[in-house]
Amino acid sequence: MPLDNSPEPDAPVIAPPAAAPAVPPPGYVEMGYVFALVGALLFSTKAIVIKLAYADTATPVDAVTLLALRMMLALPVYLVVGWLSVRDRRRTGRPLPPRKTAIQALLVGVLGYWFASYADFAGLQYISAQFERLILFTYPLFVVVLGAMFFGQKIQMRAVAAILVSYCGLAVIFSEKVGEGGSDVVLGATLILGAAIAFALYQLLAKPLIAVIGPRLFTCIAMTGAAIGALTQFLLTHPVSALAVSDRVLMLSLVIAIGATVLPTFFLNAALHRISAQANATIGTLSPVMTIVLAVLILNEPLTLVDVVGTVLVLAGVGWFTLADQRARRKQV
C-alpha cells in the first residue's frame, strides 16, 4: 500500500515563478487502474459472503448486526494504520490535516461506508447476489450524473446513452425477478439503488479530500466514521448479546471485514489518488461478472437467459462509457 502523498504546505508569500505541473512518474497512473481493478474484484466477493452469513441457521443475523460485526473487526486495523500514518507525518515534518478537513473525511466515510453499506446489506436480504451486484455496479453512471448536477462536471451524450443501455438491462432482469418475489424484490432493489447513489456521492466527495489528506490516512478516518455510525446504529436497536453469533458467522464476518472491506478500501482510495473518480468508478467492469460466477458456483443461484441478456446490457453500457472516456482523455493529453 503506498504511503500518503499529501501536498506540501502552501508556499511563502514570495513565491517562485509558476512552474509546469509535475509529471507523474512512469506507471503512476497505470497503477491507479490496477488498484481500482483489484479493489473492485475484492468488493465483488462481499455479497457472496453476506448471503452465506444470512443462510446460517444456528444464529440468524440481520443487516444491522452483520454490519456491526464487520466494522468491529475492521476498525482495529484502521486505527493501527492511522496511528502509523500520523507517526510518519510527524517524523517527516509533514502537517496533519486541518481539523475541518478531518471532520469532512469522517462524515464522507459515514455516507460511503455506513449508510451505503447498510442499504446494501439490508437489500441483500431480499434479492439475489447477482441482481445486487448489477444494481450496485451502476454507481459509476451516478458519478457522472451527480457530478454534472452538483459538482460542475461536464456530462457527455455517451454517458446518457450508457445509462439508458445499462438500465434497460436492469429493467429486463427486474421484470423477471419482481414476478418471482413481488414487493420484496422492489424493496431490495430500492435499497441497493440507494446504496449505489450514496457510494457515487462518496466517490465525488472523497477525491478532493484524499488529495489533501493522502489515501492512507483518509481511508482510516473515513472508515472510523463508518464504524462509529454502524456501532451506534446497532447499540440503539439491538442488545449487546446479539453479537454472540455462531463461529461460522463470526468467521464470515472476519472475511467481510478484511477481504471485502479493509483491503479493497485501501486499494480504492489509492486509485482515487491517481486517477479520476469517473475512471476509478468505471474500471471495475469485471466486478459483477465475478459476483455472478461466484453466486452460481457457491450459492447455487440460477442463471437464466433473462439474467444473461440483462447482464450483457448492463456491462455493455458501463463498458462503453469506460472505453469512450479513456479515448477522450487520451485526446486531451
Euclidean distance between the first and the last CA atom of the chain, given in angstroms as a whole number: 28
pTM for the whole structure: 0.79
Phi (first) and psi of residue 123, to 5 degrees: -65, -35
Residue 3 has a pLDDT of: 38
Kindly list the domain boundaries of the chain, sorted by start residue: 28-332
Provide the 3-class DSSP secondary structure of residue 253: helix
Dihedral angle sign, alpha carbons of residues 298, 304, 305, 307: negative
pLDDT given at position 5:
39
Distances (CA, A) of 164 to 122, 156, 170: 26, 13, 10
Segments in the chain below pLDDT 70 = 1-24, 26, 156, 179-182, 277-286, 321-333
The pLDDT score that the predictor gives to residue 278 is 63
pLDDT value at residue 240 = 95
| Alpha helix (H) residue ranges in the chain | 28-43, 46-54, 63-92, 99-109, 116-123, 129-136, 139-150, 157-181, 183-213, 215-237, 247-257, 263-274, 277-282, 286-298, 305-332
